[in-house]
């Protein structure tokens, strides 16, 4: 069974951590994964740096800029991950934009994902219809789950369609803003979460964008199967170093 599906069946209040590969230093990827694994997070999202990350706020944009300046590339990421499954069995997801994946070759990209043990992809700018018509076959051949995003602006009919074609979890973007917000949820956010729950979707839901501390993490888990933390984690390791990762996770989970 795909590791994402297995984790979704086994766990509640899932904590997924996003970080930009090649940041803070070029070869930190493997060590960050090991630290997160030993900290007992549930899933890890590997952010593939891109020069024009439209959905990302300043923190992730800056981390992408640094990673690219460090020399990070798609090919290098696969080289860094070549023996990752000798170190961890944690679900691993690559989050990236379509352009660099397309340039690498989507068929080849999916094959490389299978070779190193990637379990799923999040491609925010890949329309579900194009995925179904052109790329789903590559995902299925390589046991990759494609994770779709919904936002407060996504219509109920569209959400139901996305739910019908999802075989992992739905990435529930908490607000209309870019990543990196640090304020607690508003009534508008909560009403949105309730609206989605009332749709009785078959797919688990994990909330991302704006999850920055334990209070927000706990609130979000009242309305979903878990949370994704990205910008807050990147800020933390930039300030405190990757040796402090366990302290960050502990602040969130206990």
Q: Are strands 145-147 and 226-229 parallel, antiparallel or unpaired?
A: unpaired
For the annotated catalytic residues, the residue numbers are 45, 56
Asked if residues 237 and 248 have their Cβ atoms less than 8 Å apart, the reply is yes
pLDDT the model gives residue 245: 98
Alpha carbon distance 181, 207 (integer Å)? 13
pLDDT the model gives residue 180: 47
Residues of the chain with pLDDT below 50 are: 178-180
Asked if residues 203 and 163 have their Cβ atoms less than 8 Å apart, the reply is yes
Taking the mean position of all CA atoms in its chain, how far away is CA 152?
18
Q: Do you find a cis peptide bond into 24, omega within 30 degrees of 0?
A: yes
Q: Write out pLDDT tens, residues 120-131.
A: 999 999 999 999
pLDDT the model gives residue 36: 98
Hey, what domains does the chain have and what are their CATH numbers?
12-253 (3.20.20.70)
């Amino acid at each position: 069974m795909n590791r994402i599906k297995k984790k979704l069946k086994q766990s509640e209040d899932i904590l997924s951590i996003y970080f930009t590969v090649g940041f803070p230093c070029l070869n930190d990827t493997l060590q960050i994964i090991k630290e997160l694994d030993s900290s007992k997070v549930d899933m890890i999202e590997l952010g593939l740096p891109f020069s024009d990350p439209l959905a990302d706020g300043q923190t992730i944009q800056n981390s992408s800029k640094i990673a690219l300046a460090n020399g990070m590339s798609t090919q290098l990421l696969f080289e860094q991950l070549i023996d990752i499954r000798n170190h961890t069995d944690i679900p691993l997801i690559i989050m990236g934009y379509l352009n660099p994946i397309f340039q690498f070759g989507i068929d080849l990209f999916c094959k490389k994902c299978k070779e190193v043990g990637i379990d799923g992809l999040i491609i925010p700018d890949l329309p579900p219809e194009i995925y179904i018509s052109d790329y789903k076959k590559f995902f299925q051949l390589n046991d990759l789950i494609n994770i779709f995003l919904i936002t407060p602006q996504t219509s109920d009919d569209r959400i139901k369609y996305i739910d019908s074609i999802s075989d992992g979890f739905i990435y529930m973007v908490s607000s209309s803003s870019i990543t990196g917000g640090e304020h607690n949820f508003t009534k508008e956010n909560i009403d949105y979460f309730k609206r989605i729950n009332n749709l009785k979707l078959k797919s688990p839901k994990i909330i991302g964008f704006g999850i920055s501390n334990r209070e927000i993490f706990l609130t979000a888990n009242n309305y979903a199967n878990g949370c994704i933390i990205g910008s807050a984690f990147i800020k933390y390791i930039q300030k405190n170093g990757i040796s402090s990762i366990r302290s960050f996770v502990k602040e969130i989970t206990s």
